[in-house]
Each structure stands twice: as C-alpha cells, then as structure tokens.
Structure 1
C-alpha cells in the first residue's frame, strides 16, 4: 500500500517569491529556466547571489549592532565587542535563528525563550544585571 504524502504547506518565503515573480501561476518552460546574472550557468548565479546576500546581511547586522552599542560605549569598544564574538556565540545565534524561521512552533519556542531570558534579567536587581552584562561585553571586547 503506497503511503500518501501530505500536501506541502506553503512557506512565507514561497509566498514572497511568488510576489517577486509577479506571475506564479505560469509553468516554467525550457526557455524561461535561467537565472539572470553574470554567468550563463544558473547554479553559479545562484551561488553568487547567495554570497552577495549573506555579505550584505552581515554588513547590515554589524552596522546596526555597532550603532546600538555606540549609544552606551565609545566607538572602539563597540567595534571590538561586535567583531570579537566567539565562534560558539555565532553558531548559537545562527542555530536559534534557523529554528525560529523554520516553523511556527520554532518561532514560538525561540520567542518564549527570549521573553523568559528578559524576565529573568529583570527579576535580578537592576545593578547586578547591568554589572553582569557589562562584564560579559568587556570580556568579549578583550578577546
């Protein structure tokens, strides 16, 4: 007996891609199956776009983080904090982001964890929470 597969749910990225495409109802033909870009190879173009988007995302993220930190720290310290993140911290934030963007339960789980952490920090005395955060940022800037 063949196992019936569930119809695949449409992800938000599918909906947005259809909006960008403008006409998601048309079936791709052999003439339309190319990705615009510098290379005639569509796989190469896709890789180039991926690298460019990741680079732009990283620059944007670093710029925003430095800007937010400059409100409380001098420019050099803000730069050191952002650029000296540990590999573990980077991988943890990447993993949590992956979980949050893959499904609604994942987003709920991550959001709940963020709220719990915020509530925990607020339950500590304001002075000790601030001192612990500053100590952690100073340590990160020194590495």
Structure 2
C-alpha cells in the first residue's frame, strides 16, 4: 500500500514539474504581482489621459499637462482618498457626491469671486508643473 501511494505521489509530482516547466512564470505569486502592477500602470495611464482630455477642453492640451504635472502631494492624496471613499460604499458615495454638489452650488452662487480665485489657482499649479 505504501509503495502504491509513493508511486502515485511520484507520478503526481512529475506531472506538476512538467506543468511548471511549460509556464513562463512558475511562481503563481509572481504572476499575481505582475498582474497587479500591469493593472495599476494601465489605470494610471488611463487616468492621466482622461484628466488631460477633460482639462484640455477647457485650458488647452499643453496647459492641461502642466496643471497635472504641478499637482502637489496633498492634492493627490485628497483626490485618491475621496475616490476610495466614494467607490467603496454607498454611504461614502452619497457623502462625497453631496460634498461635490454643495461645492458646485456654492461656486455658482459666488461665481465671479470663485472664477477669479480658481483661475489664479490653476495658473499657479500650471507654473509649478512647468518647473517640475
């Protein structure tokens, strides 16, 4: 009985090693890590393209790229945190969406002052992007 189980184990391990030899990456965890890196890089490229496209409609492509480049660490972290909160739960989406709606209504009510202030902030961020 022991010999039969030892033979079965030997055949099974032979099949496993043959399969591993056929795979380009034998360690499955490496495959998971590579997939994660590829997805994150693809997501970052897609996000940058969408940002440039949306900002490019309003400011022009060259200025849009400078604005994105001039974004500070705090601004990036706040944007990432808000996106995570909004996408992880329905209450989070309601809170973030409500905050955006409130900000939009506030900006519309104070349109002249907000437009001047926003234009100044965008120009400053674009200047920082030029230096980077």
Counterpart in the other structure of 2:106:
120
- In the superposition, the TM-score normalised over structure 1's length comes to 0.68
d(CA) in 2 for partners of 1:89, 1:135: 16
- If you compute each CA radius of gyration, which structure gives the higher value, 1 or 2? 2
More helix by share: 2
Residue 131 of structure 1 aligns to a residue whose secondary structure is helix
| Larger relative contact order, structure 1 or 2 (CA cutoff 8 Å, min sep 6) | 2
What count of residue pairs does the alignment treat as equivalent?
107
Unaligned runs of 5+ in 1: 1-30, 32-36
- Unaligned runs of at least 5 residues, structure 2: 1-15, 17-22
Q: Residue 132 in 1 paired to residue 120 in 2?
A: no
Let me know the Cα RMSD of the aligned residues.
Answer: 1.8
Matched, 1:91 2:105: no
Residue 129 of structure 1, CA deviation: 2.0
Matched with 1:11 is none
Q: Is the 8 A contact 1:38 1:45 kept in 2?
A: no
